């Protein structure tokens, strides 16, 4: 058991997360409170959901920089649907995941069928989708989301009473994250396609020789990512209660950074759900800690940059050391 624990690939990054958490909570005990964790959870749900999709994409050796534009487009469509079609929750979710899936499918087709490198294909779709959305909406906020939907967004799953009479609760949107994580886990771990995703990332030619259909798998992955983005858009809209077409500018970098921080390889084949969730957590905790630790505004970016580089450097050095000291021969 002990050795198994030590063998976990994610160990260094887990340790970094723990160390940083300890430092923050020493500086400010308010960090280690249920309330703070719930706040972190709620404000980073969307990032976490999207990181699941990005993980899958990166496992195939791809990358998707269009996620921010896709979620913007889906949020706008969802908002429109809520205000003009129906405020029914299931219907809303359906609209969102459908439109997300369609956009993901489009990316997948460009990448699988036209063999356009993922970063380029998604750069292209990013310009096109975001350009169209902003042209159509002109960046105007969509306010006036139906109360029914907003009320749904305020619901709590489980509530914990606190001493001062207030009640804390797990936000209802946590369900979306749960669905995303479980679905991703199920696909990656339990389905043949899921193993195919790893196989393509490891050695595409061999995967093809083995009978996998890489094109189909890639299309599936991007479509599924779109599906998750649909969920993320609903969660986001229910939290923010309006749709701002500019809300996600530059968000793709955060998603990618969190996934890579969590140990996924940009070359494909390597990466895990646990690692990704830890990468996301590290990201959130750092951001959360900045204000809690009273770090002055003008130092914050310097600190964040150094922490990102520092933690990944520690991780890297660690890996190199294990690699160098690996036993290759049973010496007499």
**Are the C-beta atoms of residues 201 and 269 closer than 8 Å to each other?**
yes
8 touches other proteins (CB under 8 A): no
Subset of 301-320 contacting ligand ATP (CB under 6 A): 320
Residue among 205, 323, 330, 332 that touches ligand ATP (CB under 6 A): 323
Give the C-alpha separation, 158 to 148, whole Å.
20
Nearer to ligand ATP, 210 or 316 (CB): 316
Site map for other proteins, 261-300, x if CB under 8 A? x---xx--xx----------------xx-xxx-x-xxxxx
**Are the C-beta atoms of residues 234 and 93 closer than 8 Å to each other?**
yes
205 touches ligand ATP (CB under 6 A): no
Residue among 18, 203, 216, 321 that touches other proteins (CB under 8 A): 203
Give the C-alpha separation, 153 to 292, whole Å.
27
Subset of 93-112 contacting other proteins (CB under 8 A): 110
Terminal-to-terminal C-alpha distance of the chain: 28
Site map for other proteins, 129-158, x if CB under 8 A? -xxx-xx--xxxx-x---------------
Give the C-alpha separation, 193 to 191, whole Å.
5
Nearer to ligand ATP, 148 or 321 (CB): 321
**Are the C-beta atoms of residues 141 and 243 closer than 8 Å to each other?**
yes
Nearer to ligand ATP, 32 or 316 (CB): 316
> 17: alpha, beta or left, given left = phi > 0 and alpha = psi -120 to 50?
alpha
**Are the C-beta atoms of residues 145 and 79 closer than 8 Å to each other?**
yes
324 touches ligand ATP (CB under 6 A): yes
- Token readout for 251 is 């968000």
- Which residues lie near ligand ATP (CB under 6 A)? 320, 323-324
């Amino acid at each position: 058991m002990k050795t198994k624990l030590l063998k976990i690939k994610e160990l260094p990054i887990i340790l970094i997360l723990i160390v940083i958490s300890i430092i923050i909570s020493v500086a400010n005990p308010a960090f280690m409170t249920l309330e703070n964790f719930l706040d972190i959870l709620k404000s980073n749900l969307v990032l976490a959901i999207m990181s699941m999709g990005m993980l899958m994409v990166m496992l195939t050796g791809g990358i998707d920089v269009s996620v921010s534009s896709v979620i913007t487009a889906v949020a706008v469509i969802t908002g429109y649907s809520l205000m003009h079609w129906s405020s029914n929750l299931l219907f809303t979710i359906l609209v969102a995941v459908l439109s997300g899936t369609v956009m993901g499918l489009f990316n997948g087709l460009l990448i699988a069928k036209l063999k356009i490198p993922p970063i380029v294909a998604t750069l292209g779709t990013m310009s096109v989708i975001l350009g169209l959305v902003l042209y159509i909406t002109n960046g105007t906020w969509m306010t006036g989301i139906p109360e029914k939907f907003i009320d749904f967004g305020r619901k709590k799953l489980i509530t914990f009473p606190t001493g001062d009479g207030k009640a804390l609760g797990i936000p209802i949107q946590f369900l979306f994250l749960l669905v995303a994580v479980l679905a991703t886990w199920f696909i990656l771990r339990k389905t043949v396609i899921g193993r195919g995703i790893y196989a393509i990332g490891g050695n595409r030619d061999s995967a093809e020789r083995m009978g996998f259909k890489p094109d189909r798998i890639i299309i599936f992955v991007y479509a599924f990512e779109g599906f998750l983005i649909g969920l993320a858009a609903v969660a986001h809209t229910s939290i923010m209660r309006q749709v701002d077409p500019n809300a996600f500018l530059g968000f793709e970098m955060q998603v990618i950074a969190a996934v890579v921080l969590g140990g996924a390889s940009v070359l494909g084949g390597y990466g895990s759900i646990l690692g990704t969730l830890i990468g996301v957590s590290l990201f959130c905790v750092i951001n959360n800690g900045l204000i809690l630790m009273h770090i002055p505004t003008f130092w914050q970016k310097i600190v964040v940059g150094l922490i990102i580089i520092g933690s990944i450097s520690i991780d890297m050095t660690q890996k190199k050391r294990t690699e160098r000291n690996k036993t290759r021969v049973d010496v007499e």
